[in-house]
Amino acid sequence: MSEPTREAVRVCASDELVDGGAGVRLDAQDAGGEAVVFFVRYDGKPYGYLNRCAHVPMELDWAAGQFFESSGLYLMCATHGAIYEPDTGKCVGGPCRGARLRPVAVEERETPEGRAVFWLPDDALRPA
């Protein structure tokens, strides 16, 4: 018997995610209950993660959708200062060095309305 396939969830138009700029948040559900996932663009590609620091399970953004530190090169936890690579989710500085953010599958595709970013949910993390 095959696993159920989850519908892709449209996150935003592609041009709404700018390299090193504001991200997009979406409500989600995981085994622990309510959660948030977020999507950013880095080096021309979209990336998505569970909005939960690898150090202590707190949301990263210092204001809604603000995940990058001032240089626009790293994601930063506003609470603990952990620094993450946006393309891998690996913590490269701060209290959880070596740990990783939980990635979510993302793809960019053409739609009748134009190019858009989509979240591909899995069974462990799904839309709310």
This prediction has a pTM of: 0.93
User: Residue 77 is which amino acid?
Assistant: C
Q: Does residue 2 fall inside a structural domain?
A: no
* pLDDT top residue among 49 and 80: 49
CATH number at residue 18: 2.102.10.10
> What is the tens place of the pLDDT at every residue in 34-69?
999 999 999 999 999 999 999 888 999 989 999 999
Q: Does residue 30 fall inside a structural domain?
A: yes
Domain total for the chain? 1
Residue 1 has pLDDT above 70, yes or no: no
Q: Does residue 3 fall inside a structural domain?
A: no
What domain range is 97 assigned to? 9-122
Q: Does residue 128 fall inside a structural domain?
A: no
Q: How far apart are CA 88 and CA 110, in angstroms?
A: 25
